[in-house]
Amino acid sequence: MSSDALTISDRIQQKLDDLTRAERQLAHSILENYPISGLGPLTELALDANVSGPTVARMVQKLGFKGYAEFQAELREELRAKVKGPIAKHDTWADSAPSGHILNTFTDAVIDNIRHTLGQIDPQAFDKACALVGDPAHHLYIVGGRVTHTLAEYLFLHMQVIRPNITHVQSTSNAWPHYLLDVKPGDVFVIFDVRRYENNTLKLAEMAHAQGAKIILFTDQWRSPVHQLADISFSSRIVVPSAWDSAATTLLLTETMISAVQNLHWDDTKGRMEELEAMFDQTKLFRKFT
């Protein structure tokens, strides 16, 4: 699967409005346990989704495949890409290294990721997520993992200025269950989880969900298992010519959310910013050039 190709999940999302009722039922069944759900026999997939075999055959053709075998081959390729570690990813890229300079090829890949990602995002869902994140009546918890804790901390530092009642939870810490003691129904969890999905993050999401919290998930194109619990999910494309995945698109969505949320309650946010600046002046934390 090339880096700029749509995943089967992308194709399903694009085609949902064009599918029949039975085909949409099948599509949602596939997405619930994607991509594993489509790796078994056609009859097993049809049975799991409570649809007929011909419904499966028609839908895979609508997705652009000649038949179920080609559909499964693409799913297996996606699964191989999903479980690659950094060394295997680098070897794959090095074998087909582009001739252009890395500055250009990397940037092109990031731009493609942004374009594909924004094409799949529902603006209404994004607005709803921002409203949840910006609502000071409910406690906001922000969660990151081994790598994504940097994105979580970035969002936390800005939200800490914008609104009160906020907690940064690091799922890599053994103390994260402590944070769940005070979770109430309606509280909001923003969770970052990309491939090499972390067991701690999933368990935290399960426990928060059980306590009635709403979950907003930032994940990758293959989608973290947390998406099954999330009220709103944003899938960013992350593949670049590198041994590591790119956080650029996820950071773009994060910064866009920060911008949107600050404007929802600007008068309150402005007051908090002014108070914080006054504290900075007292501490002389920053140098002033006048």
Domains with residue ranges and CATH for the chain: 1-83 (1.10.10.10), 119-282 (3.40.50.10490)
> What is the per-residue pLDDT across 249-282, written as a single tens digit (0 to 9) for each?
999 999 999 999 999 988 888 888 888 888 888 8
CA pair distance 10, 119, nearest whole angstrom:
10
Could you count the other beta carbons within 10 Å of the beta carbon of residue 206?
A: 15
Rg for the chain, CA atoms, rounded: 21
Q: Which of 148, 12, 28, 136 is nearest to 75 (CA)?
A: 12
- pLDDT for 213: 97
> What is the per-residue pLDDT across 192-209, written as a single tens digit (0 to 9) for each?
999 889 999 999 999 999
Q: Which of 87, 26, 101 is nearest to 62 (CA)?
A: 26
Higher pLDDT, 285 or 159: 159
Cβ atoms of residues 219 and 234 within 8 Å: yes
Assign 136 a pLDDT band (cuts: 50, 70, 90): very high
- pLDDT for 4: 45
pLDDT above 90 covers a percentage of the chain that reads: 52
CA pair distance 125, 134, nearest whole angstrom:
14
| 41 burial level (CB within 10 Å; 0-12, 13-18, 19+) | exposed
Predicted TM-score of the model (pTM): 0.73
Assign 85 a pLDDT band (cuts: 50, 70, 90): low
